[in-house]
A and B are shown apart, each in its own frame.
Chain A
C-alpha cells in the first residue's frame, strides 16, 4: 500500500495547475459561461499540445498511454480551477472506443482525438432523465448494412461543438430493458441532426439533440449489435469516477478560498476565522473533502487495476455528490453576501456542484445500486 502520488503525477499536477491558472482565470470561466460555444478552442489546442487528450490513449495510437490515475490528477486540477469545455465528455467518450472499437475505428479516431482534432460526447440520457436502460428509446433501424436513427437525446454535454456523438440506441425490444441496446459513433453534423443548448445551472452547455432519420454507416457501429448496455455501464462507471475527481478539486478550491477569506475578513475587530462557530464548519468542510478523496482514489485505483469496482464507484459518486454540494453551500454561507454575487468565484463552485451531481448518476441512483451491492434483497 502506498497512497501517495508518483513524482510524475505530482509533476503533471503542477503543470496543470500552472497552465490552468494562466490560461483560464475565473473571469474567463464566467465569460465562457455566457457565450454559446462554451469553451476556448485556443486553450483546447494548447491542451492538445500538452498531450492531455491523448493521456489515456495507447502510444500506438499517438497517445501517452498512462493510467486512469494520471487522468484523475488532471481532472482534479480542472475541477479546482474550473475549466469549461469538452475535455471530460471527450475523454469519457474515448473509453468505449478503447474498449470495444474495431482496429479500423481505433486507427481512424484515436490519433485524431489525441491530437485534439476531435471533440466527442456521449448521448445517453433521454426524456426520463434516468441512467437506466429503460430510458433508452431512440431507435436505430437497420437499412442495407447501415442504420437509421430517430429519437431525442437530452443533457448531452457540449454536443453543439462535438464532431462525434457516442449514441446509445435501441435496436431490439428485448425481454429486459438492458437487451437490444446498440452504440453508434454518429457524426454530429450529419443531416437530420439538430442541436439546441439547454439553459442549465452550471451553464455547461448540455444539449438537446434531435435525430430525424439520421443515416449512420454500418462501420460506425461501436461494439456488438444489441449488446451495448454493458459498454454503457462501464462508461458510466468511468465517467462517475472522472466527475468525482473534478468534484474533489472543486471542494479543495472551496476550502482554500473560504479559509483564506476568513483569515482576511475582519468583523468585531478580528478575522472572522477566529470564531469557533466558523472554525468548526471549516473543519467539517475539510473532513468532507478528505473522506471523499480517499473513497474516490480507491475506486480509481480499482478501475486502473481492472478490478470489479461497481460498488466502490457507486459509493464514491453517491457520497461525493452530497459532500461537494454541502462544502460549496458552506463556502457561500461563510463568504456572506459577497458569496452570492455573480462576480465572485465561490458561486461558480456552488452551481457546478449541483451540475455534476446529476452527471453519471444522481445520489439516489447510486444509492440504489449500493443497496443491492451490500446484499439487500
Chain B
C-alpha cells in the first residue's frame, strides 16, 4: 500500500497546478461555478481559451495510447484533474475529452477514431450529449427517438432533453432506436452527428437559477451518414454502458470543494459576528471539521479508483461510491456554507456577495452531481446489484 507519487509525477503535478493557477487569473469576474462556461459568452470564450492552452501542451489526450498521441498514463489524468478542480478552471470538454474519447478508443472503428479523436485533442470540436428524453431518464433504454437507415444515411426523428451545452457544442453523440421492432436493449445504436445538421433544433431549458445550461434537442428528419456509428448497429446499449463507466470520476469536484473549504475557513477567520471571529464558534468549527473529514475520505477513495483505472482494473462499485458520496457531500457542503454565511448566503454575484456568490450558486448547482450521470439512486442500485449481488428489480 503506497500513496506516494513518483518524482516524475510530483513534477507533472506541479506543472499542472502552475498552468491552472495562471489560467485562474484570467477568469472572468462573473465566472462563478462550473456551469458558467454555458451561461455566458465570456464563460464560453474562457472555456475555449483554456482548452486551447491545454491542447497545445497535449493535456487533452494524456490518457490515450501513444499511437493516438497520448501518454497512456491515467495517473497524469488524475493529477491534471486535481489541478483544474482546485483552481476551478474549465477547458476540458466533459463530453468529448472525458467520455467520448475513451469510448471511441475502446469501441469505435479505426476510421472513426482517426477522424474524431484528433479534433478532440486539439480542442477544435466541442461535444454535447443529447441523451435523456422526456420519458426516458434513468430508464434510458425506454427511449423513443429513431434513426432509420435509408441508403448510406440514418434519418433521425425524436426529442432529447436536459442536454447540457447543446447550444454551444459543435457535435453531439447519442443513442437512437435503429430497429423499432426489436426488443428493449437490442434495438439501439450509438451515433455521432454535427449539431449544424439540417433538422436539428436546439431550444433552451433554463436551470433553476435562470442560467442557460440545459437544452431540448429536436430531430426532424435529420440526415446523418451511416458511417458515423460507434460499435455495431442495434448494439448501442453496450456502448452506453461503456460510456457510463467514464462518466463517473470525481477528483476534480473533490478538489473544487477542498478549495471552497479553504475559502470558507479564511472567511470564518476574518469575519466577526458579535465581536468574535466566526472561526471561534464551536458549532461552526465542528461542522467544518466534519466536512473536512468527509472530503478527505472522498479524495482517498477517488485515488483508489484512479489506482485501479491505471491498471485497467475498474471497480464499478468504487466508481459509483465516489460519485454518490461526492455528490451528497456537495449538497451538504453547500447547505452548511450558506448557513454559515447567514443572510449573505442567499446573495448572487454582486458587491454584497461573499466569495463572489459561490455558495449561492453551489446550493443550486449541486444537483448536477446527484441527479445527472446516473442519479445517486441508480448508482446505489449498481452497488446493490452488481457489487453486493442482491436480487435485481424487475
The one of B3, B289, B391 in contact with A1, judged by C-beta atoms closer than 8 angstroms, is B3
- Please report the total number of B residues contacting A with Cβ < 8 Å: 53
Which residues of chain A have C-beta atoms less than 8 A from B383's C-beta? 283, 286-287
Stretch of B30-38, B134-142, B188-196, B294-302 lying at the A interface: B294-302
Q: A318: which of B5, B269, B293 is its contact (CB, 8 Å)?
A: B293
Query: Chain A: how many interface residues by the 8 Å CB criterion?
Result: 50
A270 to B393 CA separation, bound complex (whole angstroms) = 12
Other A-B contacts than A1-B2, A283-B387, 13 sampled, CB-CB below 8 A, are: A1-B4, A270-B391, A279-B384, A286-B388, A290-B317, A291-B301, A291-B321, A295-B293, A297-B3, A368-B285, A374-B292, A376-B279, A376-B285
User: Is A371 within 8 A of B304, CB to CB?
Assistant: no
Pairwise interchain contact B390-A273, C-beta atoms closer than 8 A = yes
Q: Does B325 contact A (CB under 8 A)?
A: yes
Contact assessment for B296 and A315 in the assembled complex, using a CB-CB cutoff below 8 Å: yes
Among A284-333, those with CB < 8 Å from B are: 284, 286-287, 290-295, 297-298, 300-302, 305, 312, 315-316, 318-319
Residues of A within 8 A of B268 (CB): 376
B1 adjacent to A297 (CB under 8 Å): yes
Name the A residues within 8 Å of B385 (CB-CB). 279
Chain B stretch 310-364: residues in CB contact (< 8 A) with chain A = 310, 317-318, 321, 324-325
What residues of B have a CB within 8 angstroms of the CB of A294 in the complex?
A: 297, 300-301, 303-304
Cβ of A262: which chain B residues have Cβ within 8 Å of it? 390
Say yes or no: A371-B390 contact (C-beta < 8 A), given A297-B300, A319-B297. no
Q: Does B261 lie at the interface of the complex (its beta carbon under 8 Å from any beta carbon of A)?
A: yes
Which positions in A face B, CB cutoff 8 Å? Answer: 1-6, 9, 69, 255, 259, 262-263, 270-271, 273-274, 276, 279-280, 282-284, 286-287, 290-295, 297-298, 300-302, 305, 312, 315-316, 318-319, 364, 367-368, 370-371, 374-377
Report B377 CB to chain A, min CB distance, Å: 7
Q: Verify A69–B269 contact, CB threshold 8 A.
A: no
Chain B residues whose C-beta falls within 8 Å of the C-beta of A276 in the assembled complex: 381, 384, 393
Chain A hits for B279, CB < 8 A: 376-377
Given contacts A1-B3, A3-B2, contact A274 B390 (CB under 8 A): yes
B contact residues around A377 at 8 Å (CB): 269, 277, 279-280
Question: How close is B374's CB to chain A, nearest CB, in angstroms?
Answer: 13
Q: How far is the CA of A263 from the CA of B303 in the complex (A)?
A: 32
Q: Is B151 an interface residue (CB 8 A)?
A: no
Contact of A374 among B2, B289, B304 (CB under 8 A): B289
A274 touching B391 by the CB < 8 A rule?
yes
- Inter-chain contacts of A280 with B (CB < 8 A): 377, 380-381, 384
What sequence of 0s and 1s flags, for each residue 245-268 of chain B, a beta carbon within 8 Å of any chain A beta carbon? 000000000000000011001101
A274–B262 Cα gap in the complex (Å)? Answer: 43
Known contacts: A376-B279, A377-B277. The answer to whether A3 contacts B296 by CB under 8 A is: no
Chain A: minimal CB distance from B319 (Å): 11
- Residues in B with CB closer than 8 Å to A301 are 1-3
B384 touches A367 (CB 8 A): no
Contact present for A318 and B290 (CB under 8 Å) = yes
> B230 on the interface (CB 8 Å rule)?
no
Contact of B99 with A by CB under 8 A: no
Closest residue to A364 on the B side, CB-wise? B286
Contact partner, B304, options A3, A6, A270, Cβ 8 Å:
A3
B200 within 8 A of A: no
Are the CB atoms of B1 and A300 closer together than 8 Å? yes
Q: How far is the CB of A299 from chain B (nearest CB, A)?
A: 9
Q: Which of chain A's residues have a CB closer than 8 A to the CB of B303? A: 1, 3, 294
Cα distance, A201 to B206, chains bound together (Å)? 55
Q: Say whether, besides A2-B2, A276-B381, A282 and B293 are in contact (CB < 8 Å).
A: no
Provide the residues of chain A in CB contact with B275, threshold 8 Å. Answer: none
Chain A residues within an 8 Å CB radius of B266: 375
A279 CA to B380 CA, complexed, in Å: 8
Contact check, A376 vs B269: say whether CB atoms are below 8 A apart: yes
Asked whether, in the complex, the Cβ of A263 is within 8 Å of the Cβ of B390, the reply is yes
Residues of B close to A274: CB separation below 8 A: 390-391, 393
Q: Which 8 A-B pairs have the closest CB atoms?
A: A294-B300, A279-B384, A370-B289, A371-B285, A283-B380, A367-B289, A274-B391, A283-B383
A93 to chain B minimum Cβ distance, whole angstroms, is 25
Residues of B close to A364: CB separation below 8 A: 286
Bound complex: CA of A6 vs CA of B2, how far in Å? 10
Interface bits B4-16 vs A (CB < 8 Å: 1, else 0):
1100010000000
In chain A, what residue has the closest Cβ to B313?
Answer: A4
**B362 CB to closest chain A CB, in angstroms?**
19
Is B389 in contact with chain A by the CB < 8 A criterion?
yes
Chain B residues contacting A4 (CB-CB under 8 Å) are 1, 307
- B1-59 interface (Cβ within 8 A of A): 1-5, 9
Q: Is the CB of A279 within 8 A of B324?
A: no
Asked if residues B293 and A370 are in contact (CB atoms below 8 Å), the reply is yes
Interchain CB contact under 8 A, A291 and B298: yes
Residue among A5, A270, A295, A316 making CB contact with B1, cutoff 8 Å: A5
Q: Which residues of A contact B243 (CB under 8 A)?
A: none
A284, A290, A300, A319: residue with the most chain B Cβ atoms closer than 10 Å: A290
> In the complex, what residue of chain A is closest to B279 when comparing beta carbons?
A376
Q: Known: A280-B384, A367-B289. Contact between A1 and B261, CB under 8 A? A: no
Q: Which residues of B contact A273 (CB under 8 A)?
A: 390-391
Report the bound CA distance from A1 to B9 in whole Å.
Answer: 10
CA of A334 to CA of B89, assembled, Å: 44
5 contacts between A and B (CB under 8 A): A9-B1, A282-B384, A287-B321, A287-B324, A368-B289
